[in-house]
Amino acid sequence: MTDEPSATLDGVARTYGGVPVLTDVSLSVGTGVTAVVGPNGSGKSTLLGVLAGAVEPTAGTVRYRHGGPREGGDKRVGYLPQRVPFRDGLTARETLGFYAALVDGDPDAALAGVGLADAARKRIETLSGGMRRLLGIAQATLGDPAVVVLDEPTSGLDPEMRERAFRAAARAGDDAAVVVSSHDLDLVDAHADAVVVLRRGSVAAGGPRERLLAEHDAADVRELYRAVVGGSPDGPGSGDEASDGDADGERDAESVHVAGVSDR
């Protein structure tokens, strides 16, 4: 990871219908993989939407080192939301080709980068759920964005495909700031350079993974999570009774941008 942050959030808040989802969130992300973890309802999807430029914060600022969607810069932020509306009838290559034309990207290189070169001619409706998520990661990295935001890229996948998807995300972190939300703490432990733990819309802990483990006397990210939040990401003791599911729905309704490319 580089010392200079690629993106910085300062005092960011977001409410939906008067209900706070994010409260005074300040953090910086640099080159490498930053994993955002937390209980259901802690604001992970909303935070990633703000970082990607798909959600307007109620308060606070978002700044990008290379320019970005809030500053009129031409450096796009790659974005993979939880639900990607790929169009049936097109092949994987045709799908990426459409988005690549918008960002001057290479669809064939993007497919190869996530291990889908052999699936280039397969139609979207024939792809498995895991292959669709990999295609979404490829789409989010088109055009070599400085910041890549991936919201639950391994959700609903089998263990082998989760590992494959997370490895693809980690490879993008060689040249970009990759921010990924996940409930899979073992994969976070294996691939993340930095960790942000959200609890009730606020940052409960954040920083380089090794430093956080040492500060909380934790052997791995799972123990770190228990020390900061309690329980497991989806289990009892998570410390969160509210859900930001409705907020995420509102976020999706507002976000009429091209999935995978945020230039607002």
What's residue 3's pLDDT?
63
Task: Quote the CA–CA distance of 246 and 45 in Å, as a whole number.
Answer: 11
**What would the two tokens of residue 171 be?**
């490879």
- The domain defined by 7-262 folds into Rossmann fold (3.40.50)
What's residue 74's pLDDT?
44
Q: For the segment 163-172, what is each residue's pLDDT rounded down to a tens digit? A: 988 888 888 8
- Inform me whether the pLDDT recorded for 242 exceeds 70: no
Residue 123 DSSP code:
B
- Inform me whether the pLDDT recorded for 254 exceeds 80: no
58-84 mean pLDDT: 76
User: Is the pTM above the cut of 0.95?
Assistant: no
Between 258 and 31, whose confidence is greater? 31
Helix-strand-coil percent breakdown of the chain, rounded to 5? 35, 25, 40
Task: Quote the CA–CA distance of 178 and 160 in Å, as a whole number.
Answer: 21
